[in-house]
Amino acid sequence: MEQQHNKSEEPVELSFTCPKCGDDRLYLKQIDITEVKGVFSDGEISLGDEYAEEDLGFICVGCEYELQDEDEPVVGGQHLAEWLQVNCPQTDHSSAEEDQETSET
C-alpha cells in the first residue's frame, strides 16, 4: 500500500541511530552488474557497459549492523523511511520549526 502525502506537508529529513553501536551513519549496499568484454591470460579483465545496479540493503558505517524488517533486509527509500520512523527516535521537526518562528518574532 502506497502512502499518500499531504501536498502542503514538506518531507522532513529522518535521522538514523544504530541500535547496536549508536553511530548515525549509513551505507547503501549495492551490486553493479557490468558486462565482461574479455579476460586475458595475465588476469586482466576488460569491462564493458554497466547494465544494472541493484540495492541490497543498508548497513551501519560504525559496526556493519544490517537494517532488517521481519528478518528481511530493508531495501529502497520508502522501506528505509518507514524503518527509521519505527526504529529510531525522530525529532519533531514541526514543533522545532514553530519554536524557531516564535523566537524570531
Residue 1 domain flag: no
Domain count along the chain? 1
Considering only the C-alpha atoms of the chain, give the largest distance between any 2 of them, rounded to a whole number of Å.
73
SS3 79: helix
Q: For residue range 48-82, what is the model confidence (pLDDT) as tens digits? A: 887 778 889 999 999 999 999 999 999 999 999 99
Residue 56 domain flag: yes
- What pLDDT does 2 receive? 46
What the block records as the C-alpha cell of 87 is: 526504529
d(CA 71, CA 47) in angstroms, rounded, equals 35
- What pLDDT does 96 receive? 47
Residue 47 domain flag: yes
Residue 37 domain flag: yes
Residue 8 domain flag: no
- On whether the CB atoms of residues 14 and 81 are closer than 8 A, the answer is yes
Kindly write down the DSSP assignment for every residue of 5-48, as one continuous string: PPTTPPP-------TTT----EEEEEEEEEEEEEE-TTS-EEEE
Residue 104 domain flag: no
Residue 61 domain flag: yes
